[in-house]
Structure 1
Amino acid sequence: MRHSAISDSTGHRPSRRGIRPALFYGMFAVLLGGNAVTGTALMMAPDIARLLGGQNELVLSAYEDRLAQMRVEIDRLHSRNYAQAGDMNLQLQELSAQQEVLLEQHQLVRALVTKADQLGIAAVTPAQDAPLELSLETTHSGNPDVAATAASVAQMMDETQMAMTGIAVAATERTAGIVSELGKLGITLDLPDTQPAGVGGPFIAADDALASVPMIEDANAVMDALMLYQAARDSLSVAPVHMPITGNFRQSSGYGNRKDPFTGARAFHSGLDFAAATGTAVLSAADGVVTFVGEKSGYGKVVEVDHGNGLITRYAHLSAYLARQGQSVQTGTPIAKVGSTGRSTGPHLHFEVHRGDKSLDPKPFLDTGKRILAMLG
């Protein structure tokens, strides 16, 4: 590399003891990396918060503005260092651009991993201690080994991309599992439509200068998968697939034809019986609204809850009421106490599921709930 000589006011030239190439490139890398890391952390934080809030269109616009600001800052650094150093390898500029994309990608992955953790999804994540600064490796001659450094940056970018893919796959698989399980019960989920409506225009080839935008679109696609999973998981609260009783109990009778305990003749039993001590809490099997509190012939004291989708659950032979008609309840809300009122041989909960005027076997509902909970861990 050629060094320019500087003369002092007397015309004498100082000794040619310039900065060593390896030291200069190292200082340049640290300066550039430090500014990029700091700039990214400060400017991306508000957008990450909006990303977690689901405002994806605002995120795209905000990121484009901040990417432009970061490019201006990096260009300024390049210009200053070019003026000081003279002829700089253009590949260093390409690496710094790659590093900029990597830093943004890493911030997005951190945000997505945080959201996935909140939803109980454990995803493969990049090494937390992986260095984010552009660390230039050198050859035996002391010059920067651009190829090795580029390979290192590319590897880190692949790792962060793999993390985003892992989150999306896990969320999509769980969503599909919930939809499938509830679909077997005739429950159709009303999930949000993540596809934009009212879009179009002529096909124009992609602009390679906007390389960072697809990365943000990938992150938004992962966030869409997480939002769909969250909606599917939340829908479980309105599906009567949760046990209506806890503690010490046993199933004492199933759904369908059985020997009547009073007459000994064959008779139809329209629900499940769970034998338990008098006073044991009876829980709502899902979110809903209490539509009936009172007595019915043969059932004794009864509470009924409407869960939407045409589904109603009935809890009978109760000893006491804990809910009132018109009350909104959540999954697991205590609504009554086990008893032996009505046509009953001993304290137990009689649990029914109805779609319209037709009774359904509650067992497939409760079994589905167990499978889904096991799938979600």
Structure 2
Amino acid sequence: MSKNEVEGPGLWSRFKGLFPDHELHIRSGGKLRFFRISSKLQIRVVSIVAAGLVGWLAFTLVMVGLQVKGASDRIALDQREQQVTETAERVAEYRGSVEDQVARVERRQQVLDALVRRHFGNLEIDETEGEGGEETDEVGEAIPEAAALRELEEYQVAFARALRGAVEERTARTAAAIREFGFDPRVMSRQAQGGPLEPIRTAMTLDGAIDSEIADLEIALNRLAVMELSLRAIPSAKPTAYGAMSSPFGLRRDPFTRGRAMHNGIDFRGSHGTGILATGPGRVSFAGWKGGYGRTIEIDHGAGVITRYAHLSAISVRVGEQVDRGDRIGRMGSSGRSTATHLHYEVRINGRAVNPRPLLEADRDVLEIQSVAERRNGNSVEL
């Protein structure tokens, strides 16, 4: 016989001994009745009650667990809804600001495109340069307006580089034109400069590729403006439409003393009253009688360049008046120290007389470059 078989009845006997049989005696109406509660019945009742208690306890635990989980889920859901609401508000706010910025950038780009086409023609811009990668795609999927803004910024980087290249090319052509006139472009464009160091701290010149490109472009544009103003200041038109040169620039015999003398200009002979024309745009700095020059007009063309028109019979301009190339400013005469009707024409740079002849005999290509510089810098908006 196994051990379990030995222990089995022993355990059952001890458990059964906890519920001995009971007899109840009840007297009613003079009669005595006996009720017997067996051990098996007691065990069944106890088992049913115990099973009920276990079931109730399990049910209670499950319900409590479900309530706890439900409360936790509600809390998590509330937090998620709050996060979603806050994120939606931020996205809506960001979307609105991005849309406004995109609109501003697009309007600015349209104006830039129009200006560049007018001054430089069509530029070839490498739109693949600086293309965004996966980050651009991810941003574009989340907020399309942000992707559009990024694309515009990338285009403007390439645009600024292409524009700077065109500006530097035009600066080189302008410098070459100044040399064709016989001047040193470095001397012509040299300016008195100074002042305290002011670091660049604007929104357009902070960190980032586009800021650097715009700063470089601005420097190139400033160099071009100075160079073109210098070229524009060179008087290259003829001072009279009718009249041949009668005395060149340089050493000659003085017509009165017959001794050697320096002639600081060119003489043009012609008829009395022949119109005298401004040889370049500028401001009248003198108009009146000037000793041996007689009736004289001086025009300041900027960059230290002054032209002088002497021996006139009449003056048609006033001091401070702005004149353009080819404007009639007076009439030919023989006032002052003069032997006959003629125009004495001088060009002075920083007070020093230079030979005007090379300026009057420039090639057509050089004159065209000068004409472009004059048109660009003659308009305040373009300047």
Q: Which has the higher helix share?
A: 2
TM-score, with normalisation over the residues of structure 2? 0.47
TM-score, with normalisation over the residues of structure 1? 0.48
